[in-house]
Structures are given as C-alpha cells and as structure tokens.
Amino acid sequence: MKTKVAIIGSGPAGLLLGQLLSNAGIDNVIIEAQDKDYILGRIRAGVLEQVTTDLLREAGAAERMEKEGLVHEGFNLYFNNRCERIDFCKLTGGKTVTVYGQTELTKDLMDVREAGSYQTIYQAKDVELHNVNSATPYVTYVKDGVTHRVECDFIAGCDGFHGVSRPTIPDDIRKEYENAYPFGWLGILADVPPVDEEVVYGHHEDGFVLCSMRSKTRSRYYVQVPLEEKVEDWSEERFWNELKRRLPDELAAKVVTGPALEMSIAPLRSFVCEPMQYGSLFLAGDSAHIVPPTGAKGLNLAAGDAKRLFEGFEQFYLHDNRESLNAYSKECLDRVWKAERFSWWMTTLFHKLNDNPFSRKIQQAELEYLTGSEAGKTTIAENFVGLD
C-alpha cells in the first residue's frame, strides 16, 4: 500500500490529524494496535480548551459535542476551609472550556472517519517504522498472520507514551526529560449528579481531591493516593468515604453516591522528548510528552500538535513549502514546555508532597497569595483555558 502520511495510533492525536488531512484531500492511513472497542473502553480526560473544540469543528466531528458538551466559565478551589472561585471567563476576556469526555470525542472522530474514504487498520501487530531518516520511509505491521508494508512520504507517530515511534529516534539524538511523582490518582466514574456545577480542586491535609463530571448525570471524582496503592484494596464505599472526608462539610453533604462504572489508579508523570521530529517522522501527543492531569492539559496538547502538524503538511502538499514542517518540533516544544510547567506547578500546589508540615504551610500561603491577587488569579485562569 502507498499513502502520503502513515499515522501510527488512533487516539485523539492520530484521529484529529487524520481527519484534517482527509478533509484537505491529503492521503493518509491510520495504523492502530488495538481494536475499536478497546480504545472506546478507556476512560480518559474530559476538559477541552478552545483549541480542541475549534479543531473538532474544523474536523467536522463537533455535532454531538455542541449538544452534549458543558461549557464552563469558572472552577472552584477549596483550601484552608474556604472556597475561591476562579472566574476564568472574566479573567481571560471571555474564554471558556468545554467538559466533554475524551472517550466521546474519540468515538465522534472514529464515526466521521468511517463515513469518509480513508482507512484505519485496527489490530495491527508488530508495527515497525523503517528508513525514517530518508524521504522514502515505510511502515510494516502484521495482521492475521500476514506482514503488510505501507510506503509513505511521512510518518506521524501518534502512538502514545508506550508506542514504537519515539524509540525510532536514535539515542544520541533523542533527549528525554522526566519527573515521576510518588503518588497517583484513584478515580471513579459513576452515574450520579455532580456535586457542583463546576469542577472543584481541593487541597486537603491528607491529599488532593478533584470533583469533575462528564455530564449533568455522570460524575468523575479523584483522590490522591500513594503510588503503591492497589485498586483492589479500595471498595466503592471506601472511595466515597474518603472523597467526602477530603471535601469541606457543606460540599461533602451534597455528594450523591452510586455504583462505579469504572475505578482505576493512574500514576502521575511529567515527560518531554526532544526533538519531536526526526527525518520523516513527526511525533504528536502522548508519544512526545506526558503531563500530570492536574492542569487538564494532556488532551489539549495532543490536539495542539495535531493542528500544528496538519498545517505543516498542508503547506507542504498544497503550497510546496517545507518550512512549516521544519519548524514543527521547535514551535510545539515551546508550547509543550509551558503546559508542562503549569501542570507540574498545579500538581505541587495541590498535592500532599511529603509529611513535612512546612510544605503544607507554604502551599496554603501560596494559595492565599494567588487567590488574593488579580494577577495571581489571572495567571491560573489564562493557563487553564490555554495560552495562545
């Protein structure tokens, strides 16, 4: 098979890129290791910045999000037994975010792709990238015991953190920056009305707590747990009790509990790979960078990469200009590092970092300082809605 862009991975990065290319008539194929049901069974992020909602519209996959997505203009911070609302809409001149699950966004993008003429190959095993540092790269994979070869001009590595694309960049060129945190998030998804209309970030002496949602009838809650914690040791009842214990009384009293649709523990990690391009290979999304979820940036960074990479391909194929592709890695990394900084900072501000009471006092003082200052609130707001 021959194509222009071979996309590895059918997550948000690969699907968004694929749809923009397809709409521009640029040949592409998506090669994905898993099957569709497995991908749609994963519960992931849920807060979309404007860059992501705009892109979904541009891709022609925004119909359901327009109907079901919840537009938010602010969120709440709980600390020192009080609540402070960050009115990010007012603080950023009218910007909002949309609460809509990554799982739903992925489904919508898969549906529009299926209605079009470009292919996705699911359950592609042993995917390998070849001749990446040349103008004639190709990808091989095994399906139903048969090895297939896809010749292409470019490869887009959208295969997530554990994918095969990133390690294709030689060790002496690839530099990886990483910070692992000694805690994770235990999350629950349940069909119960959210405790608040807006997202709530809470700072408690025993650890971070987050109240989010997927709709007016579906809630997503998280509590910080030590990294060694096992999900099997958490009954649903234990989770609900811990959630309520970490929330201020007036909020805890409003929590509606119900059976879990999903419960899991996710580790927290910061990671960046430089460069994001090598020869004909371009990395996008989690294959190039990971952020802890505290700033709700992971999905939005993936969307930003897909948009920027599409612009490069558009310039190349429709205007015979490679400059934009050449600048891809540097321009993405400038944006990525700013989001890495915000995600790391939000994480260190809200989580229990150690047993030293000094650390907590400093966090409380920082939260008091930030929320007592217009400049402080603006800095949180403008990062949360996404920097330009």
Tokens of 266: 């996710």
125 to 164, contacts with ligand APR by CB under 6 A? 127, 158-160, 162-164
Q: Which one among 30, 47, 77, 276 touches ligand PHB, defined by CB under 6 A?
A: 47
212 near ligand PHB, judged by CB under 6 A: yes
Compute the 3-state secondary structure of the chain and give helix, strand, coil in percent, each to the nearest 5: 40, 30, 30
236 to 275, contacts with ligand PHB by CB under 6 A? none
- CA-to-CA separations, 157 to 33, 69, 160, 276, 337, in angstroms, rounded: 13, 29, 8, 9, 19
293 near ligand PHB, judged by CB under 6 A: yes
Q: Which one among 106, 294, 347, 383 touches ligand PHB, defined by CB under 6 A?
A: 294
Tokens of 225: 């747990």
Residue 292 partner contact from ligand APR, ligand PHB, none using kind-dependent CB cut-offs of 5 to 8 Å: none
Tokens 């390690």 locate to 167
Name the one range near ligand PHB by CB under 6 A: 239-247, 263-271, 293-301, 321-329: 293-301
53 near ligand PHB, judged by CB under 6 A: no
Longest dimension (CA), the chain: 63
299 near ligand APR, judged by CB under 6 A: yes
Residue 298 partner contact from ligand APR, ligand PHB, none using kind-dependent CB cut-offs of 5 to 8 Å: ligand APR
Residue 212 partner contact from ligand APR, ligand PHB, none using kind-dependent CB cut-offs of 5 to 8 Å: ligand PHB
Q: Which one among 3, 5, 14, 187 touches ligand APR, defined by CB under 6 A?
A: 14
Name the residue among 239, 281, 283 with its Cα closest to residue 261: 239
Q: How many residues does the chain have?
A: 388
Handedness of CA 334, 336, 339, 345 (dihedral sign): negative
Nearer to ligand PHB, 118 or 201 (CB): 201
d(CA 231, CA 247): 21
Number of residues forming the site for ligand PHB (CB under 6 A): 10
- Cis bond before residue 275 (omega within 30° of 0): yes
199 near ligand PHB, judged by CB under 6 A: yes
Beta-strand pair 97-99/120-121: unpaired
- CA-to-CA separations, 121 to 9, 144, 175, 383, in angstroms, rounded: 10, 12, 31, 37
296 near ligand PHB, judged by CB under 6 A: yes
The residue ranges that bind ligand APR (CB under 6 A) are 8-14, 31-34, 39, 44-45, 102, 124, 127, 158-160, 162-164, 285-286, 298-299, 302
The residue ranges that bind ligand PHB (CB under 6 A) are 45-47, 199, 210, 212, 220, 293-294, 296
